[in-house]
Amino acid sequence: MSLLHGLSTPIAFGTLQWGTTWIDHTILSAHGVISESEARKIVAETTKSGVTVWDTAEGYGGGTSEKRLGRLLSKDAIVMTKFLPVPWRYSHGCFERAVRESCRRLQIECIPIYLLHSPVHWRPIEFWVEAAAICKRKGLIKAMGLSNCNADQVRRAVLAGQKYGIDVVTNQVHYSLLCYNSKSLQEMESTCRELNVKIVGFSPIGQGLLTDGLTTERLASNRPARMLHLKLDDLFDLRSCLKLLSLKYQKSMAQIALNWCICHEIIPLVGCRSLNQAKDSLGCLGWKLDTDDVKRLDRLALSKSTLESPSWRRSIFVTLFGLVMLSCRFLDYIGLGMVKHAWL
């Protein structure tokens, strides 16, 4: 059984917005860098509640998100970090160097779960699984994970893992009430269950689309809404049901949406910028929606899966993300990797 099965606290926290460079402070976040003291409070609160799984990536703040987790997390945390398969990375050596650099930033010798950030690369997915197996034999990673992979890619990766000697234990995808009825998502979920690959669902509340505070103005700036071409009318029936259930269970709409993921045996991956957000997310634990209420939400769920995005679009995104990663690393190298706001 993998590290992600049988969790007593089935939720993971992500650190996409925990980078600390000038770019993170001025461009990537509308609210600036999270202070070190606030991050420390979030880690303390979640640890107290039994959270053990944390997600980051070498691309988040050019690795400064990893550095922050290295300072704040205990050594027994289950850390997931990711390899960004940009076009100029072409060899097993590129993969191993990235693993070693992540280990150094996280202040650990072996990464519990190392993910391929996206399957879009001119090298086949099997090539990167072999690279992960080599790193496992060198004691650098324990298991491999995937991100944004469809059913066929999951199956290919698991078969390659069996061939080369490494377990593929998770697929991290957008999983929420916005995409549940997508054919591609349901095929992927069925394949993961068949192969014992645990799904970790990012954007489980649609970055605010499934919360109490959604407004027309916030919808206009919401990235998932733009990617999935969603309008407020598309969400009306689903949000109305969430609101009714929030009153029934005396929980927030976000907590209902997160608990729905848990009822489907999905680990929701939530990001947070404040202690209050962390506490609200933790409110999805310790109780469960009735079966009839889960089925009611299932029927109202949308079918807007990012797994159906064309590969060329995702390739462009990975390349641009890679350029941002290099820029953040340069700022970190010259001493601008930690803006003063991060320490307040």
Which amino acid is located at 58 in the chain? E
Q: Of the candidates 266, 263, 271, which has an alpha carbon nearest to the alpha carbon of residue 224? A: 271
DSSP letter at 61 equals: G
Quickly state the pLDDT bin for 22 (edges 50, 70, 90): confident
Confidence at 179, pLDDT banded by 50, 70, 90: very high
Distances (CA, A) of 29 to 21, 66, 206: 11, 17, 17
Provide the 3-class DSSP secondary structure of residue 144: strand
- List pLDDT tens digits, range 103-132: 999 999 999 999 999 999 999 999 999 999
- Asked if 195 contacts 223 with a C-beta cutoff of 8 angstroms, the reply is no
Instruction: Specify the pLDDT at position 148.
Output: 95
* Interval 44-65 mean pLDDT: 96
pLDDT category of residue 338 using cuts at 50, 70 and 90: low
- What number is the average pLDDT over the span 259-284? 96
In a domain, 152, yes or no: yes
264 within some domain: yes
Average pLDDT of the residues of the chain: 92
pLDDT of residue 337: 59
The pLDDT of 202-231, averaged and rounded, is 83
Per-residue pLDDT band for 57 (boundaries 50, 70, 90) equals very high
Does the predicted TM-score (pTM) go above 0.85?
yes
Q: What is the mean pLDDT of residues 218-244?
A: 85
Q: Which domain holds residue 219?
A: 12-343
| Tens of pLDDT, residues 303-314 | 988 888 778 888
Q: Are 99 and 141 in contact (CB under 8 A)?
A: yes
> What CATH number corresponds to the domain at position 38?
3.20.20.100
Average pLDDT over residues 15-25: 89
Which pLDDT band holds residue 343 (cuts at 50, 70, 90)? Answer: very low
Check pLDDT > 90 for residue 321.
Answer: no
pLDDT at 28: 67
Residue 134 lies in a domain: yes
pLDDT at 314: 85
Contact 84, 326 (CB under 8 A): no
Residue 332 has pLDDT above 60, yes or no: yes
Residue 21 pLDDT > 70: yes
Per-residue pLDDT at 231: 83
For the chain, the domain total comes to: 1
